[in-house]
């Protein structure tokens, strides 16, 4: 059962002997399609889910932030006047977010409260972005700042890039900040424009956790980014977003009637670029299919996305491929693919809502039988992004 407001309130009362002034939540996310496109200024289609980080808080008269984590049963604190990086740990995400807001010129007020969450950690459901955006939402409430989702998402991303040291794109923070109940968001990662796209009636989203975790993810992720940047330089554009499939086929060395290409982009960079360029196109078509109420077409695009991530971008894994194949074999499944950065973590499936239970049970059992790993399946709801509840 997802965490609810009253659970968080009860923990606060238990600790502070009175009700909190605010309760905020910021959700994790799952991406339907548009993978490894955000840092290429491209398109993504994620939804914010009913798994979130929650903070109940009250303001303090000084400039300290004092937080008790229910999940770790640990209290940590820092001063807004003396922020410094220490060793890794959950409090660094809060500090980094406070640092980023202050760097942007916001005048912050201290607060104290309790923190808890139910976004599985390290599963590729953006638990860290949820923590950053919950912190930003709490700081905004305590400091009386207007909530501007795109601006706050950029500050959360800056915290992740510069304080935590992970070179992610904008997708996770933006969907956590700006998500909308019962909708996915088509996000243009260049302009940060978000368009809410409703789910066709009768479909549900299932998150399929392979229970494998990504090793060496950061270095592989950074390497992919560098390959994309090299490909953009080859095409003489700001980002791969600016290259059409026709341009790619003409100039990247796709042998045109057997001729030698004019210029050479190495074979690996070609495959990376082909993934990004085709994925942007699939993502735009997926949003159209969703609006038209056509889950079968959306499912087909998800299959193509998975194949492209597996073969061209090479960020899938055996466990993810097994999960996706098993999910697809169920009659209730419109489509399935790996989701998030890859190398482990979760797949996502679009399914007939009325068969959700059967789908979850059979998929988990077949996956366990085939791979020996346990599987967790969450049928989730699209919820609002970061909010005061």
Which residues are registered as beta bridge partners of 282? none
Task: Say whether residue 209 binds ligand GLA (CB under 6 A).
Answer: no
Of 36-44, 73-81, 110-118, 232-240, the window that binds ligand GLA (rule: CB under 6 A) is 36-44
Is residue 36 a contact point for ligand GLA (CB under 6 A)? yes
Of the listed pieces 35-43, 52-60, 101-109, 372-380, which binds ligand GLA according to CB under 6 A? Answer: 35-43
Alpha helices in 183-244 (DSSP H): 217-235
In 183-314, which residue ranges form alpha helices assigned H by DSSP? 217-235, 245-251, 267-292, 295-308
The Cα 289–Cα 280 span in angstroms is 14
Q: Please state the closest distance from residue 366 (CB atom) to ligand GLA, in A.
A: 27
Which whole-number Å values give the CA distances from 230 to 40, 92, 235, 287, in the listed order? 11, 32, 9, 29
Catalytic (active site) residue 218: no
SS3 state of residue 305? helix
23 - beta bridge partners?
56
DSSP 3-state of 64: strand
Of the candidates 350, 254, 237, 247, the residue with the CA atom closest to the CA atom of residue 298: 350
Q: Is 156 in the site for ligand GLA (CB under 6 A)?
A: no
Q: Work out how close the CB of 143 gets to ligand GLA at its nearest, in angstroms, rounded to a whole number.
A: 26
Q: Tell me if 132 contacts ligand GLA by CB under 6 A.
A: no
Residue 158 lies near ligand GLA (rule: CB under 6 A) = no
8 A C-beta contact, residue 142 and residue 234: no
Contact between 282 and ligand GLA per CB under 6 A? no
- 45 is written with which tokens? 């289609």
Q: Which of 41, 50, 118, 172 is catalytic?
A: 172
| Dist CA 136 CA 133 (whole Å) | 5
Write the binding mask 39 to 78 for ligand GLA: x where contact by CB under 6 A, - elsewhere.
x---------------------------------------
Question: Which segment (33-41, 193-201, 229-237, 241-249) binds ligand GLA by CB under 6 A?
Answer: 33-41
d(CA 383, CA 377): 18
Site string for ligand GLA, 159-198 (x = CB under 6 A): ---------xx-xx--------------------------
By beta-carbon proximity to ligand GLA, the closer residue of 45 and 67 is 45
For 134-144, letters b (16+ CB in 10 Å) and e give bbbbbbbbbbe
- With respect to ligand GLA, which residue has the nearer C-beta, 204 or 341? 341
Q: Is residue 38 close enough to count as binding ligand GLA by CB under 6 A? A: yes
Is residue 120 involved in binding ligand GLA (CB under 6 A)?
Answer: no
State yes or no: residue 340 binds ligand GLA (CB under 6 A). yes
Quote the least distance from Cβ 169 to ligand GLA, whole Å: 3
Q: How far is the CB of 189 from ligand GLA (least distance, A)?
A: 9
What is the length of the chain? 389
- Percentage helix, strand, coil for the chain under 3-state DSSP, each rounded to 5: 45, 20, 35
What residues make contact with ligand GLA under the rule CB under 6 A?
35-36, 38-39, 168-169, 171-172, 340-341
Active site residues: 172
């Amino acid at each position: 059962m997802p965490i609810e407001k009253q659970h968080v309130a009860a923990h606060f009362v238990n600790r502070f002997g009175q009700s909190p002034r605010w309760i905020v939540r910021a959700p994790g996310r799952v991406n339907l399609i548009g993978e490894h496109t955000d840092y290429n200024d491209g398109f993504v289609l994620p939804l914010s889910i009913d798994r979130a980080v929650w903070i109940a808080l009250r303001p303090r008269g000084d400039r300290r932030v004092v937080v008790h984590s229910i999940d770790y049963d640990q209290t940590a604190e820092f001063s807004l006047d003396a922020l410094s990086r220490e060793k890794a740990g959950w409090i660094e995400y809060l500090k980094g977010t406070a640092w980023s807001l202050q760097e942007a010129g916001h005048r912050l007020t201290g607060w104290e409260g309790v923190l808890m969450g139910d976004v599985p950690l390290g599963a590729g459901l953006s638990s860290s972005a949820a923590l950053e955006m919950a912190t930003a939402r709490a700081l905004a409430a305590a400091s009386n700042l207007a909530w501007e989702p795109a601006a706050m998402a950029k500050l959360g991303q800056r915290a992740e890039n510069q304080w935590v040291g992970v070179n992610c794109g904008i997708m996770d923070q933006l969907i956590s900040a700006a998500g909308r109940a019962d909708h996915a968001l088509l996000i243009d990662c260049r302009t940060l424009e978000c368009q809410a796209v409703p789910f066709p009636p009768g479909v549900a989203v299932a998150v399929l956790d392979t229970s494998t975790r990504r090793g060496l993810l950061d270095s592989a992720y950074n390497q992919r980014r560098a390959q994309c940047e090299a490909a953009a330089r080859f095409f003489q554009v700001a980002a791969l977003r600016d290259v059409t499939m026709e341009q790619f086929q003409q100039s990247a060395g796709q042998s045109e009637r057997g001729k030698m290409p004019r210029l050479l982009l190495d074979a690996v960079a070609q495959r990376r670029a082909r993934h990004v360029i085709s994925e942007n196109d699939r993502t735009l078509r997926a949003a159209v299919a969703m609006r038209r109420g056509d889950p079968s077409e959306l499912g087909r695009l998800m299959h193509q996305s998975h194949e492209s991530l597996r073969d061209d971008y090479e960020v899938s894994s055996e466990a993810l491929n097994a999960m996706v194949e098993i999910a697809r074999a169920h009659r209730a499944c419109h489509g399935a693919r790996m989701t998030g950065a890859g190398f482990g973590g979760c797949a996502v499936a679009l399914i007939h809502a009325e068969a959700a239970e059967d789908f979850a049970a059979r998929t988990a059992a077949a996956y366990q039988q085939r791979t020996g790993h346990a599987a967790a399946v969450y049928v989730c709801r699209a919820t609002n992004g970061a909010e005061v509840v």
